Amino acid sequence: MNKDQIVRAVAKSSGFPIYQVEKIVEEFLFQVSAAIVEGGGARLHGFGKIESVFAPPRTGRNVKTGEKINIPARRRVKFTPSENLKMFINAHAEG
């Protein structure tokens, strides 16, 4: 599901116009992104935690040539699902 599909689904279920839902979704994503950049991350009760974590430098390998390459240290985004989300997914899993 992409952002446009989310906007349309929320607009349909809530009765709000698409343009209003689109503004809300955009602002929500901006606020979550800003919280991650500031280092605090975002905790969404019942959904999960999104945060920035430090990834130390490491040695990788070019898949095509096999040559070793140095991968610099960087910040990564990490998502940890809540127990509620895990239970919801498992309850609705096919198989």
**What is the per-residue pLDDT across 71-84, written as a single tens digit (0 to 9) for each?**
999 999 999 999 99
In the chain, the number of structural domains is 1
Q: Any idea what the CATH number is for the domain that residue 10 is in?
A: 4.10.520.10
Domain that holds residue 16: 3-91
pLDDT in tens, 4-42: 999 999 999 999 999 999 999 999 999 999 999 998 899
Spatial separation of the C-alpha atoms in residues 84 and 91, rounded to whole Å: 10
The pLDDT score that the predictor gives to residue 35 is 94
Report yes or no on whether pTM surpasses 0.85: no
